[in-house]
Amino acid sequence: MILLDGKNYSKKLKNELREEVDQLIEKVGIAPGLAIVLVGEDPASCIYVRNKMKAANFCHIKADLIQVTKTISENELLDLVYKLNQDDTYHGIIVQLPLPKHINEQAIIDAIIDKKDVDGFGIINKGKLFSGLPCIKSATPKGIMKLLEEYDIELEGKNAVVVGRSNIVGKPMAMMLLEKNATVTICHSRTKKLGEITKQADILIVAIGKDRFIKENMVKDGAVVIDVGTNRVDEKLYGDVDFENVKDKCAYISPVPGGVGPLTISSLLENTIIAYKNILNIK
């Protein structure tokens, strides 16, 4: 079994991004700017935002945290996004999810102008992805594709099974695998005989948010298993895959923590640099 080490690979990527940013700053005179909007003080969101800020600072991207209270109205939050859209110092904008229940998440995400939508969650970037057009791609599936590429894992003609069909992970993941000519099956909570389908997977990607749900009898011998899940149990982090029991069956497996998570952040930073170059018309 080979461990897909997202932590170390992400370090390497961040070093490369930092070098690129330094060269861009020297050439253009301004740093890429990232606005991170945090609504309220959800503890998990605060951790994610802190990690994004830290990684951006490491890469010399100018990241600003814009924190607003959880009682902010949808209209006030929309106004904030419109203001950031107009602000030339920001080339990327992210609004940390989830948002409080009284706010329509998709309306806020779609208010971010597509060229600054560095999470790639907006309708324009998603539509382009689904149409096979160049776009800013969702950070988590983009990071997974980079990890598969780094380990020279062939996708063409392979049976890829994605468990989970969220707009931010499962669906864009399936599209990116399809783009690389894998034969893709998407499973979800209403899928019947899930284990029989996952057992056919050469590449199994799990993003459901259920602690250690995928067991060894659901995995094919020699499969490549990517675990997106992050489930906190008694202060410990577990994936959606029962790593200890599944690992010996796999050719490759990503751990939690240290697999997909760090690559999500480096892909977000890469997206910010892409947005900066597009906005400033830098080839």
Ligand X SMILES: NC(=O)c1ccc[n+]([C@@H]2O[C@H](COP(=O)([O-])OP(=O)(O)OC[C@H]3O[C@@H](n4cnc5c(N)ncnc54)[C@H](OP(=O)(O)O)[C@@H]3O)[C@@H](O)[C@H]2O)c1
Residue 266 is a binding residue for ligand X (CB under 6 A): no
The C-alpha atoms of residue 261 and residue 211 are separated, in whole angstroms, by 16
Residue 229 is a binding residue for ligand X (CB under 6 A): yes
- Identified catalytic residue from 119, 202, 240, 242: 119
Query: Considering CB under 6 A, how many residues would be counted as binding ligand X?
Result: 25
The C-alpha atoms of residue 264 and residue 63 are separated, in whole angstroms, by 16
Residue 163 is a binding residue for ligand X (CB under 6 A): yes
Verify whether residue 52 is a known catalytic residue.
yes
Rounded least distance, CB 260 to ligand X, Å: 4
Integer angstrom CA distances of residue 39 from 42, 49, 83, 102, 103: 8, 11, 16, 12, 10
Rounded least distance, CB 229 to ligand X, Å: 4
Q: Cβ closer to ligand X: 10 or 93?
A: 10
What token pair was written down for 236? 């410990």
Residue 169 is a binding residue for ligand X (CB under 6 A): yes
Rounded least distance, CB 88 to ligand X, Å: 29
Cα 71 to the center of its chain, rounded Å = 27
Residue 118 is a binding residue for ligand X (CB under 6 A): no
Residue 261 is a binding residue for ligand X (CB under 6 A): yes
Query: Could you tell me if 32 and 23 are in contact, meaning their C-beta atoms sit under 8 angstroms apart?
Result: no
DSSP character for 218? Answer: G
The C-alpha atoms of residue 238 and residue 246 are separated, in whole angstroms, by 13
The C-alpha atoms of residue 31 and residue 26 are separated, in whole angstroms, by 9
Among 15, 69, 71, 189, indicate the residue that binds ligand X (CB under 6 A). Answer: 189
Phi-psi region of 222 (alpha: psi -120 to 50; beta: other; left: phi over 0): left
Among 17, 34, 161, 208, indicate the residue that binds ligand X (CB under 6 A). Answer: 208
- Identified catalytic residue from 14, 96, 137, 242: 96
Which residues lie near ligand X (CB under 6 A)?
140, 163-166, 168-170, 187-191, 194, 207-210, 228-231, 260-261, 264
Catalogue the active-site residues: 52, 96, 119
